[in-house]
């Protein structure tokens, strides 16, 4: 955290900052699409939807995986300090016949067990990611 001289905290601006959510499928039959691409400091969640049954991973490549990326960003806290939030690349290897709901749950478990300031919830094939301060 670094405090900038002369900077003024504007909650509307700072709470709207956040990570850009992006996703990709490297599986032949299971797909993922982002339905809300910004995970904001102010609590607006990013959302993605998974569909289809997985073909699976059969080698050491990224084939048969789903990926989610949360971008790097900075925001100012009310005390004038600036927080830098690191980006996060999450790859999920799939098993043959894995359902969309199982994949969403697996992503949520990975995110919730991580040390980054994000939490996730899965419902069916949908995943919701929020920014949280620990």
Say which DSSP state 37 is in: -
State the DSSP H helix or E strand holding residue 24, giving kind and residue range, or none if neither.
strand 18-25
pLDDT tens, position by position, 53-81 = 999 888 888 999 999 999 999 999 999 99
Distance CA 44, CA 35 (A): 13
Domain residue limits, the chain:
2-131
| pTM beyond cutoff 0.75 | yes
Distance CA 31, CA 100 (A): 9
| Residue 1: per-residue pLDDT | 57
Our CA dihedral for 14, 70, 53, 98, rounded to 10 degrees, sits at -110
């Amino acid at each position: 955290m670094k405090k900038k001289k002369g900077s003024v905290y504007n909650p509307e601006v700072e709470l709207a900052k956040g990570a850009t959510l992006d996703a990709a499928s490297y599986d032949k039959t299971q797909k993922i699409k982002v339905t809300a691409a910004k995970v904001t400091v102010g609590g607006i969640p990013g959302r993605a939807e998974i569909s289809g049954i997985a073909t699976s991973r059969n080698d050491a490549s990224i084939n048969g995986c789903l990926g989610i990326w949360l971008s790097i960003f900075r925001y100012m806290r009310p005390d004038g300090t600036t927080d830098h939030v690191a980006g996060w690349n999450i790859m999920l290897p799939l098993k043959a016949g894995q359902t969309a709901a199982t994949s969403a749950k697996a992503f949520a478990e990975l995110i919730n067990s991580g040390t980054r300031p994000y939490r996730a919830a899965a419902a069916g094939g949908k995943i919701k990611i929020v920014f949280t301060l620990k």
